[in-house]
Amino acid sequence: MELKGPLCYVLDYDDIANYAYQTAKKIKDSEWRPDAIVGIARGGWVHARIQCDLLGVKELFSVKVSHWGVTATKDGKAKLTCPLVGDIEGKKVLVVDDITDTGESLTMAVEHIEETGKPKEVRTATLMHIAGSKFVPDYYGVEVTWAWEIWPWNFYEDLTALIMKIFEGEDIKELTTPQLKKHLREYNNIVLSDEQLSKVKAHMGYLEKIEYPQDKVWKLK
């Protein structure tokens, strides 16, 4: 069935642990040992912290790359908004992100780190790599075809954006939970439990996107 919106997959922390482990295994098998890890904020932070553990790395730094774009779209310009702070001179550095899609984040981060930090060597790692992406990381957990991956650390943010898109697409101000369930399946192939949906609803109430509390309907503010 043709979807009305982008195909999405909801990932949980077990998926992340599994992909991170696969990534770390490839790094270890290549007999390369990073001295420091740089996590790209925000998407790469959790993965970067897990790699510190899996690879026995104590030095963890950050850069931030911001995107002007919307959830589940391929567009948007990237900009390096927080530079590297910390000493990586002469070190082997692993730059870590969640996924390579357009590859813009990693391209910008690596360029910046090589220019400003004088590292001995820079390599890159992501949990997932989208086949055909311009940037191929040195290490990744799995290769996939394009879909919007809903990371467990971005669940509420993504679901809020996707549901707002459904309100927009349907040109409607109010939805019942069963209607919303149907739309999430038709737009994004997402199936959520009642408990997950009620947590998203509470979150959207907290953000003042919808009226809250409301027992049955999702009503736009």
Residues that bind ligand ADE (CB under 6 A): 99, 101, 148-149
Minimum Å gap between C-beta 143 and ligand ADE is 13
Query: What residues contact residue 67 under an 8 Å CB cut-off, 6+ apart?
Result: 76, 77, 78, 79, 104, 105
Minimum Å gap between C-beta 91 and ligand ADE is 27
Nearest to 10 by CA among 199, 220, 192: 192
Minimum Å gap between C-beta 162 and ligand ADE is 12
Minimum Å gap between C-beta 50 and ligand ADE is 17
Helix%, strand%, coil% for the chain, nearest 5: 40, 30, 35
Under a CB-based contact definition with an 8 Å cutoff, are residues 189 and 162 in contact?
no
Nearest to ligand ADE of 148, 218 (CB atom) = 148
- Nearest residue (beta carbon) to ligand ADE: 101
Strand order from edge to edge, sheet including 139-144 = 77-82, 59-68, 36-41, 92-100, 121-130, 139-144
Nearest to ligand ADE of 54, 147 (CB atom) = 147
Nearest to ligand ADE of 51, 126 (CB atom) = 126
Nearest to ligand ADE of 144, 202 (CB atom) = 144
Minimum Å gap between C-beta 9 and ligand ADE is 8
Nearest to ligand ADE of 140, 218 (CB atom) = 140
Under a CB-based contact definition with an 8 Å cutoff, are residues 13 and 21 in contact?
no
Return the residue matching tokens 């990073």.
Answer: 34
Minimum Å gap between C-beta 206 and ligand ADE is 23
Q: What b/e readout covers 50-84, taking b as 16+ CB neighbours within 10 angstroms?
A: bbbebbebeebbbbbbebeeebbeeeeebebeeeb
Nearest to ligand ADE of 161, 192 (CB atom) = 161
